[in-house]
Structure 1
Amino acid sequence: MSLTRSEVRQAQVRASGMIAEAGIVLSDEEKENIEVAGFGLGNLHVQGLELITYINTDRYCAKDLVLFPGQTCPEHRHPTIDGIPGKMETFRCRWGSVLLYVEGEATVDIQAVVPPESEASYTVFHEVILLPGEQYTIPPNTNHWFQGGPEGAVVSEFSSTSRDELDIFTDPLIARMPIVIEDE
């Protein structure tokens, strides 16, 4: 499923406001270029992500990620491609809280709500809760997913080169690159 231009614009405005609330200043151009990833699932506020990429070279990448309250970036991993290790990324919470789930011993009562329509596609449940000023590094090729806490979250991501279009999602229905259509 695609997103309409007005859905994208609303998400960009909301994400821009949350980034400002975190004390991060964006240029007007950056605000207009916030990527809205709906993953082709048709439920952006349940499974989606808003992000701004500041730089992405063949050596490193820096982004800010925005999660609305309860919004989930679905489970995925960054695989090795052509002998090049997948992305290693460090998440640093700037505002709000983020519930991060990675491989490891499952947490008994996780705080996140797994999206019911995609429940079978969520397989890792080792919970890491990040509050402002806390960070966690995810190794390459590690299954992970994350969700905004009750107020949402702004998370800075520092990583090796990002090749989002090559991420492998556990949900076969996901389309990583957004399709935006004009409003009728």
Structure 2
Amino acid sequence: MKRSEVVAAQHRAADMLDAIGIILTPQEREHVEVAEFGLGKLELQGLQLVTYINTDRYCAKELVLFPNQTCPEHLHPPVGDDPGKTETFRCRHGVVYLYVEGGNGGTIQAEVPAGSEAYYTVFHEIELHPGQQYTIPPGTKHWFQAGETGAIVSEFSSTSRDEFDIFTDPNVVRIPVVTED
């Protein structure tokens, strides 16, 4: 991604948070993480994150999804003695369609990103509205997509080690690569 694209997405995500009363410090606004997963289609497959704290015991983040934006399918594996990340998603704004292992899937409300269908394999749907939450156990494949107005999700979890996440799509690059304009 180009630096200008990152800055624009950072401002957009911070503005979405402001609009629902989640106020960021100037430093947090400047450091919103913009993940386009190396796929080059941020609006389709991407995620904006604000990490408040991430220690060896716990983590707290805000996940901002633009309208119909999808975070690609992945899981959080064991790392050393850690069984992998347990995370609770609490919807703050919009609608989030979360997909996890289990169930038959059937018809889903989200739209799997075109061209990436082979990399979306779990379809047990959990629909989250503001105030609703769901806990994802360690090692569980999952992906999620915002509804048509976008979504904001507060994540409360054990330690986050994003660099170890395993994505179904081998083309995903989790840690953003930014080029200067």
Interval of TM-score (by shorter of Structure 1 and Structure 2): over 0.9
CA contact (8 A) 1:99 1:128 kept: yes
| Cα offsets for 1:51-82 (capped at 9, x unmatched) | 00000000000000000011000000000111
1:97 — aligned with what? 95
| Cα offsets for 1:73-128 (capped at 9, x unmatched) | 00000001113110000000001111100001133210101011111000000000
CA distance in 2, matches of 1:118, 1:14: 25
Pairing 1:54-133 to 2, within 5 Å after superposition: 54-133=52-131
2:38 — aligned with what? 40
* Residue 176 (structure 1) aligned with residue 174 (structure 2): yes
CA contact (8 A) 2:105 2:122 kept: no
> What is the DSSP-based 3-state SS (H/G/I as helix, E as strand, rest coil) of the residue aligned with 1:181?
coil
> What is the DSSP-based 3-state SS (H/G/I as helix, E as strand, rest coil) of the residue aligned with 1:117?
coil
2:154 — aligned with what? 156
- Number of equivalences: 181
* AA matched with 2:101: E
CA contact (8 A) 2:38 2:171 kept: yes
> What is the DSSP-based 3-state SS (H/G/I as helix, E as strand, rest coil) of the residue aligned with 1:6?
helix
CA distance in 2, matches of 1:74, 1:146: 7
2:164 — aligned with what? 166
Q: TM-score, normalised by structure 2?
A: 0.99
Q: Give unmatched runs, 5+ long, in structure 2.
A: none
Q: Give unmatched runs, 5+ long, in structure 1.
A: none
* AA matched with 1:134: Q
CA contact (8 A) 1:106 1:127 kept: no
* AA matched with 1:180: V
CA contact (8 A) 2:92 2:153 kept: yes
CA distance in 2, matches of 1:123, 1:108: 12
* AA matched with 1:107: G
2:13 — aligned with what? 15
Q: Percent identity?
A: 66
CA distance in 2, matches of 1:43, 1:54: 26
